[in-house]
Structure 1
Amino acid sequence: MRKQRFYSDAVREPSPGMWSNCLRIDNLILISGMTARGDDGETIVGDTEYDQSIVVFQKIKDLVEASGAVMDDVVKMTIYVTDIANNSQVWKARQEFFSGDFPACTLVQVAALAKPEILLEIEAVAVAGCSTS
């Protein structure tokens, strides 16, 4: 087995020594929790769960594709939200990025995320080549 780190020009990398956004071990792909932070790493893009979800799912897609897989290879997601009452906005955005069998998914409400204006964070696990896409 070999661990490789993958990058996407569309997803800002953390400072050195912090964490990896995307690691691939053989066909297993691990995506760290993504938020709707903009290119500057500070500005939050989107005021609603739907808008932030679109930004986050696009980041996940960019990283999954950079690692040689497709979105339908995503098999598990964990979604952290600050207001579970707005979960339908997350589900609406998710439908724009997946088809066929949706990934296994856990959604939990948390008291807070890294900044007050961050409404959600999503981490993903994919297995390259497991979908029929």
Structure 2
Amino acid sequence: MTYKVYNPKELPEPPPQTWSNIKVHSNGHFYVSGIVAEGNSMYEQTKKIFSSIKSLIEEAGGEMDDIMSLQIFVNNLNENTEVWRARQEFFKGDFPSSTLIEVSRVGLPHVFPPMRVEINCSGYIGGSR
């Protein structure tokens, strides 16, 4: 099976031989790696993450409603309403299936400032049409 990697100019390209931000298989199935973002709150970070995910999927020819599944990792489950608030700004109709997991740390703590949330997802380009 063949696949393509996309790197929109709004997002930094991962270091060589580490990961791909998004891989899209020839059948349209896509996988987005865990995305983190800087911000002062869980809401701000989540909103930036969804903006990055949106850029990746649109670069590949899709839209946010093509996401079938979200995996959301937070370092404080008590702030989950901030994640849901940001999520409502990016999805309409039926939301993707979703998993929310509390972890001790997210992102790469030795590289990035303290992150509160990391999100990865998968779906099918054109799946919402």
TM range (shorter): over 0.9
Q: How does 1:72-83 map to 2 (within 5 A)?
A: 72-83=65-76
Counterpart Cα distance in 2 of 1:24 and 1:74:
12
Map of 1:118 onto structure 2: 115
> What is the Cα-based RMSD across aligned positions, in Å?
1.0
Question: Cα distance, 1:84 vs. partner?
Answer: 0.4
Structure 2 SS opposite 1:24: strand
Counterpart Cα distance in 2 of 1:121 and 1:13:
17
TM-score (norm 2): 0.93
Counterpart Cα distance in 2 of 1:92 and 1:76:
18
Q: Which runs of no fewer than 5 residues in structure 2 stay unpaired?
A: none
Question: Cα distance, 1:117 vs. partner?
Answer: 1.2
Q: How does 1:44-123 map to 2 (within 5 A)?
A: 44=38, 46-113=39-106, 114-115=108-109, 117-123=114-120
Q: Number of matched residues?
A: 124
Deviates more, 1:58-67 or 1:1-10: 1-10
**Runs of 4+ more than 6 Å apart:** none
Spell out, residue by residue over 1:83-133, the C-alpha distance to the aligned partner (whole angstroms, 9 max, x if none): 00000000000000000110000000001122261000000102111113x
TM-score (norm 1): 0.90
**Correspondence 1:17 to 2:24:** no
2:35 corresponds to which letter in structure 1? M
Counterpart Cα distance in 1 of 2:64 and 2:45:
18
Q: Which runs of no fewer than 5 residues in structure 1 stay unpaired?
A: 37-43
Aligned-pair identity (%): 36
1:102 corresponds to which letter in structure 2? F
